[in-house]
Structure 1
């Protein structure tokens, strides 16, 4: 599975180089992924380090949303989107600025 994900990352790098050359040249693109074992495996981390790929830390929203949706069953993607959207709207907007400042500090 890790070799498959490495190929996905290679394809992503090629696509960024081709479709977003400005970001590619300035090294200003950031990879955002979750913490599934495939993404956090040593082989993957070594690949990302070898190519100096900046990985965005997980945002506070995803674990929170994951806890809320855990155990629920959905029949369609639209149901998942609707429930996720409802739950995201319940988060008070005052929570966001400190989180983005924290993220900015982590990426600096």
Structure 2
């Protein structure tokens, strides 16, 4: 099974040979198991036509995969060690970290059942 990067390189190769996007769709027959869709072939052909040369995906904006940082964990640990009777609401107020993150830190990182 060919990966998507390899198929994009093939689309770029066809573009450099002067093939149209419609002619490039013939690549689907070469990649029988998991071919790139016709829409994707047209999109990548258009990108190469605009002058882009990279076959890598563009970076995407959005939420990071994780919001857990060592600084956050250390900060919450310090506050809890000062006074173990702190509530999650107090942690949120002092740190500005989301309630669910504070709760998850306290149960997963510090193995606390109640806070």
**TM over 0.5, yes or no?**
no
Greater relative contact order (Cα 8 A, min sep 6): structure 1 or 2?
Answer: 1
- Which one has the largest radius of gyration? 2
Whichever structure has more helix as a proportion of its residues is 1
For Structure 1 versus Structure 2, the TM-score category normalised by the shorter chain is under 0.3
Instruction: Report the TM-score when normalising by structure 2.
Output: 0.21
Instruction: Report the TM-score when normalising by structure 1.
Output: 0.22
